[in-house]
Amino acid sequence: MALPYFLGLPQWQHPAWNSLLPPSESPLGRYSQVFNCVEGNTTFYATPSQEQCLQWRSQVSDGFRFLLKFPRTITHDRLLSGVDADMRDFLNIIAPLNDVLGPFLLQLPAAFSPGHLHNLWQFIDALPAPLTCTVEVRHSAFFSKGEAEKALNRGLRERNIARVCMDTRALFAAVPDNDITIEAQRKKPRVPVHLLPGDAAPVIRYIGHPNQEANRRFLAPWVERVATWIEEDRRPWFFLHMPDIGDALGLTELWTELLGARAGGIEPLRFNEKQPQLGLF
């Protein structure tokens, strides 16, 4: 059954998932039978070879989508300045994935300030069609509802580009009483939840509470929003994270249970060793 929205995780393999996902010759093959998109965090840290990209393409269906991140040297080290050649080189390497690319995840660091917005517009405008991106910002000025945020939102709307909404409220509601939660709270930004109305399909990154049941109340508003977007044929992107990513399948079960109760035709996903859930396609 094909989902009327995109559902994914920040990676496609973890040892805890090996016996829970459907069998396949590769981790990506197992993952892509259940999820129809993935965050491409791997390209943020290291650029793959073109051969690797060809292998990834062979392991997914035509309906699967990669939302790749640009290398951190482009977004974080150089803040999108003077990176035209690097961008072209990167796009050439990942060309085998062109027909299964969603929007790029253009994740910008807190150091990317309102004074760098001209870099953002030049970078986006230089992307060759039909490639596009979605933008995540972390500088506090972009959440203050002042002129800086208005300028950001205006530029994104003009280009029909979504602003990534990162929701870390559940994560920061957790008591930091173990190393995994402490590390997750250290790494993830504690930023307000700001949605940008517009025509571009919304992109949500939800970071869960380590206690699965505690996520129910934090997911409830997203259930209503995502169900409404589906009814409006917006086809949003919804990514699930956990402090321990090995727990992400459990969060997926909870999310799809809640959404299925609100939106007709969406069946909850269940993961177990005897009867793994097969496919969305």
pLDDT above 80: residue 191? yes
pLDDT above 50: residue 241? yes
CATH of the domain at 33: 3.20.20.410
pLDDT above 60: residue 1? no
User: Is 237 within a domain?
Assistant: yes
User: Is 65 within a domain?
Assistant: yes
Count up the domains in the chain and report the number: 1
- Residue pair 36/3 in contact (Cβ under 8 Å)? The answer is yes
Residue 197: predicted pLDDT: 86
d(CA 80, CA 13): 30
Predicted confidence band at 177 (pLDDT cuts at 50, 70, 90)?
very high
pLDDT above 90: residue 110? yes
Predicted confidence band at 8 (pLDDT cuts at 50, 70, 90)?
very high
User: Is 173 within a domain?
Assistant: yes
Distant-in-sequence, close-in-space partners of 162: CB < 8 Å, separation ≥ 6: 103, 134, 135, 156, 196, 198, 200, 201, 202, 203
Q: Residues 139-155: pLDDT tens digits?
A: 999 999 999 999 999 99
User: Is 273 within a domain?
Assistant: no
User: Is 278 within a domain?
Assistant: no
Q: Which of 192, 261, 250 lies closest to 226, judged by CA?
A: 261
d(CA 55, CA 94): 11
Instruction: Give the amino acid at 195.
Output: L
State both tokens at 239. 């990514």
User: Is 86 within a domain?
Assistant: yes
- Residue pair 105/69 in contact (Cβ under 8 Å)? The answer is yes
Helix (DSSP H) and strand (DSSP E) numbers for the chain: 11, 8
User: Is 271 within a domain?
Assistant: no
- Which residue range(s) make up the domain with 241? 6-262
User: Is 268 within a domain?
Assistant: no
pLDDT above 90: residue 2? no
